[in-house]
C-alpha cells in the first residue's frame, strides 16, 4: 500500500532493481528466434501442472488434428477504441495487431487467420512441444502467454496518440464454442456520461506507464514490515512501484487505477512480480512482498512463466509474498480463490491488502483463505487527525479469525505502534520504520 507523504517519497533512496524489461520485443523482428531457443533456457519440470479445474480444462485435448493447438486471441477493447478515437484509429490498431500476429506465426510455425477483433492461430505442437523432461502440459499456457505478450504488451503509435490494445487469448478445446468464453463485453453504461474523456485520459496514463517500463524507467521503493514485538525483526520488505525522473524515485501507485480500468493491469503486474523474483534470486537471504491488482488475481496466460519459475524453486517461492490490492473489485471470488490456492501450493504467502477499505474485501477475506491481512491505520483516522481506536480493534480481531498474521500499516508514531500492538497486530509497517537510513537490501546487478 502506498504512502501519501510525497516529500518523503521523493527523498527515498531505494535499491530494489527490476528484472530486465521486454521493451525490444515490441518489434516484430525480435521474435524471429523460434520457440526452441527459449526452451533451452527454461526449467519447467514435467511434474508441474496448474492445480485448478480451469487450467486443466484449458489444457484438455485441443481442437483440430492431433499435434495441433488452436489459440484464439481477441482485441477486447477494439469497440471502445473505435467509439473514443474513431473508426480510422481502430482500424490502425487492428492492422498493427494483425501484423504482430503474422510475425509471431512465422517465428512459431503457426497458421494464422484474422476476422474483425479476432485472430486464430493453429500451432504445430510437434514443432513446439517440449523435449526431454520438460512439461508437455505447459504448452498451452506458454503459447497463450506468448500470444498475449506479443500482440498486446506494447502501444500502437497513431498520430499524437499511443493506443494500448487489450488482448485476451484462450486455447480452444474439443467441442469449444469460439468467441464466447473469453471475450470481454464492455459495459459502457457503467462508465457514466463522460466515459470517452476518461478513457482518453486513462489511455494517456497507461501508455506513459508502459513506455516507462519499456524504457527501463520503472523501479521500486521499499518499506520494511516489522514484527510487532521487535521493530528490528524485518519479516519482509514490501516493494512499491516507482518511476525514475531526474534521478529521483517517484511512487506511481496512484496511476495503476487507470491501467486497471483499461484492462491492462495484468501485463504490469507480471512485470512487477517477475522483477521481484529477480531480486530474490540475487539475494538469497531476502524476503519480499509485492502488490498485484485484484483484477490480476485470476489464473490466465500472464501467470504461466511466473508459476513455472516458482515451481522450479520452492525456496524462492517461500520468500515471496503476493499482496492482493483491491483498488478494483475482484473479477471473480472463485477465480481469486483458485489463484490464492495455486500460489500457496507453490510456496508463496498471500496477503489481502487494505482490509475494510477495498471493494467487498471483508467478504473476500472469508472466502479466499489468505495467509496475511493488512489494515491501514490511516484509513481509520477521523476528521481532524484524531484516531478511532474502536475501529481498529474489531478489524484486527476479525482478520485474526481468518488469517495467521495481521499487519497494521500507516504507523507513523510510537503511539500508533502501541495502539496497533494493543489491538492484536502481529506486524507493523509505516514511516516510523522506513526512514532514509534503512539498509541496502539488494546488491547492484552485474
pLDDT tens per residue across span 97-151: 999 999 999 887 788 999 899 999 988 777 654 433 344 556 778 889 999 999 9
Position 276 pLDDT exceeds 70: yes
- Structural domains of the chain, ranges and CATH numbers in brackets: 23-193 (3.30.70), 216-433 (3.20.20.450)
In angstroms, the CA 292 to CA 326 distance is 9
CA distance between the termini of the chain: 30
Determine contact, residues 108/147, Cβ cutoff 8 Å: no
Task: Give the pLDDT of residue 103.
Answer: 94
CA distances from 129 to 50, 104, 137, 301, 319 (A): 17, 16, 9, 17, 31
* CB proximity list for 241: less than 8 A, separation 6 or greater: 218, 220, 251, 252, 253, 256, 272, 291
In the chain, pLDDT over 90 holds for what percent of residues?
51
Q: What's the CA dihedral at 277, 6, 352, 423 to 10 degrees?
A: 130
Q: What is the pLDDT of residue 205?
A: 95
pLDDT number for residue 110: 86
Angle of CA points 136, 140, 143, to nearest 5°: 110
User: CA 401, CA 366: separation in Å to the nearest integer?
Assistant: 9
* pLDDT tens string 245-256: 888 889 999 999
Q: Does the structure show a pLDDT above 90 at 233?
A: yes
Predicted local confidence at residue 33, as pLDDT: 39
What is the DSSP secondary structure assignment for residue 16, as one 8-state letter? B
CA distance linking residue 119 with residue 101, whole number of Å: 8
User: Cα angle at 266 between 82 and 61, to 5 degrees?
Assistant: 95
Report pLDDT for 27.
36
- pLDDT of res. 300: 86
Confidence label for 358 from pLDDT (cuts 50, 70 and 90)? low
How large a percentage of the chain has pLDDT more than 70? Answer: 71
pLDDT in tens, 406-434: 999 999 999 999 999 999 999 999 999 98
Between 352 and 133, name the one with better pLDDT. 352
Q: What is the pLDDT of residue 89?
A: 95
Q: What is the dihedral of CA 145, 318, 280, 21, to 10 degrees?
A: 10
Scored b (16 or more CB within 10 A) or e, 59-75 reads beebbeeeebbbbbbbb
CA distance 349 to 370: 8
Residue with cell 508463496: 348
Q: What is the pLDDT of residues 300-346, one digit of tens each?
A: 888 999 999 999 999 999 999 999 987 777 777 888 999 999 999 99
Q: What is the DSSP pairing of strand 161-163 with strand 156-158?
A: antiparallel
Cβ atoms 262, 201 nearer than 8 A: no
User: What is the pLDDT, as a whole number, of residue 26?
Assistant: 38
Residue with the larger pLDDT of the pair 158 and 380? 158
Q: What mean pLDDT value characterizes the chain?
A: 77
How confident is residue 53, by pLDDT bands cut at 50, 70 and 90? very low
245 DSSP assignment:
E
Which tens digit of pLDDT belongs to each residue from 163-218?
999 999 988 653 444 433 333 333 443 444 578 888 999 999 999 999 999 999 99
Question: Which of these, 308, 326, 301, 280, lies nearest to 145 by C-alpha position?
Answer: 301
Average pLDDT for residues 370-394, to the nearest whole number?
71
| Residue 98 and residue 114 in contact, taking contact as beta carbons nearer than 8 Å | yes
pLDDT at 194: 75
10 Å Cβ neighbour count for 189?
7
Mean pLDDT of 44-64: 36
Length of the chain: 446
Asked whether residue 387 carries a pLDDT value surpassing 80, the answer given is: no
Closest CA to 19 of 281, 257, 318: 281
Distances (CA, A) of 369 to 53, 115, 395: 18, 42, 17
Cβ neighbours for 396, distance < 8 A, ≥ 6 positions apart: 375, 406, 408, 420, 423, 424, 425
Residue 55 has a pLDDT of 35
**Whole-prediction pTM:** 0.76
pLDDT at 381: 66
Comparing 283 with 37, the larger pLDDT belongs to: 283
- 265: helix, strand or coil: helix
Q: What is the pLDDT of residue 246?
A: 87
Q: Count CA atoms within 13 Å of residue 158 on its CB side.
A: 22
pLDDT for res 323: 97
179 burial (CB, 10 Å; 0-12 / 13-18 / 19+) is middle
Question: Rounded to the nearest 5 degrees, what angle is found at the Cα of 78, between the Cα atoms of 164 and 162?
Answer: 25
* 208-to-19, 204, 374 alpha-carbon distances in Å: 19, 6, 30
Give the per-residue pLDDT at 321. Answer: 98
Amino acid at each position: 500500500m502506498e504512502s501519501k507523504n510525497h516529500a518523503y517519497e521523493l527523498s527515498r533512496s531505494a535499491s530494489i532493481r527490476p528484472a530486465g524489461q521486454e521493451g525490444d520485443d515490441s518489434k516484430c523482428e525480435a521474435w524471429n528466434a523460434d520457440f526452441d531457443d527459449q526452451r533451452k533456457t527454461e526449467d519447467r519440470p514435467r511434474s508441474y501442472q496448474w492445480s485448478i479445474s480451469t487450467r486443466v480444462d484449458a489444457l484438455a485435448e485441443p481442437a483440430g488434428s492431433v499435434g495441433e493447438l488452436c489459440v484464439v486471441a481477441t482485441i477486447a477493447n477494439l469497440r471502445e477504441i473505435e467509439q473514443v478515437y474513431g473508426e480510422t484509429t481502430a482500424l490502425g490498431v487492428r492492422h498493427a495487431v494483425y501484423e504482430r500476429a503474422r510475425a509471431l506465426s512465422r517465428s512459431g510455425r503457426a497458421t494464422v487467420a484474422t476476422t474483425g477483433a479476432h485472430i486464430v492461430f493453429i500451432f504445430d505442437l510437434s514443432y513446439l512441444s517440449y523435449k526431454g523432461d520438460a512439461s508437455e502440459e505447459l504448452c498451452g499456457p506458454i503459447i497463450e502467454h506468448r500470444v498475449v505478450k506479443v500482440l498486446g504488451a506494447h502501444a500502437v503509435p497513431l498520430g499524437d496518440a499511443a493506443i494500448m490494445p487489450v488482448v485476451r487469448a484462450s486455447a480452444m478445446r474439443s467441442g469449444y464454442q469460439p468467441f464466447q468464453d473469453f471475450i470481454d463485453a464492455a459495459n459502457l453504461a457503467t462508465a457514466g456520461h463522460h466515459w470517452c474523456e476518461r478513457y482518453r485520459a486513462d489511455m494517456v496514463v497507461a501508455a506513459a506507464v508502459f513506455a516507462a517500463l519499456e524504457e527501463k524507467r520503472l523501479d521500486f521503493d521499499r518499506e520494511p514490515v516489522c514484527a510487532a514485538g521487535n521493530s528490528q525483526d524485518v519479516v519482509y520488505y514490501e516493494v512499491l512501484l516507482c518511476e525514475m525522473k531526474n534521478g529521483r524515485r517517484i511512487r506511481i501507485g496512484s496511476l495503476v487505477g487507470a491501467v486497471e480500468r483499461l484492462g491492462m493491469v495484468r501485463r504490469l503486474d507480471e512485470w512487477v512480480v517477475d522483477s521481484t523474483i529477480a531480486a530474490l534470486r540475487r539475494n538469497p537471504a531476502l524476503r519480499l512482498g509485492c502488490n498485484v491488482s485484484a483484477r490480476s488475481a485470476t489464473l490466465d496466460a500472464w501467470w504461466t512463466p511466473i508459476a513455472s519459475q516458482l515451481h522450479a524453486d520452492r525456496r524462492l517461492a517461500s520468500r515471496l509474498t503476493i499482496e492482493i490490492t483491491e483498488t478494483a473489485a475482484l473479477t471473480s471470488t472463485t477465480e481469486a480463490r483458485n489463484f490464492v490456492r495455486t500460489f500457496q501450493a507453490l510456496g508463496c504467502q498471500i496477503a489481502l491488502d487494505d482490509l475494510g477499505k477495498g471493494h467487498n474485501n471483508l467478504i473476500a477475506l472469508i472466502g479466499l483463505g489468505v495467509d496475511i491481512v493488512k489494515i491501514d491505520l490511516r484509513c481509520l483516522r477521523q476528521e481532524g487527525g484524531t484516531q478511532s481506536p474502536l475501529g481498529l480493534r474489531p478489524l484486527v480481531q476479525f482478520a485474526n479469525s481468518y488469517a495467521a498474521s495481521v499487519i497494521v500499516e500507516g504507523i507513523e508514531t510510537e503511539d500508533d505502534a502501541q495502539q496497533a500492538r494493543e489491538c492484536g497486530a502481529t506486524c507493523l509497517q509505516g514511516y516510523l520504520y522506513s526512514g532514509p537510513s534503512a539498509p541496502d537490501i539488494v546488491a547492484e546487478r552485474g
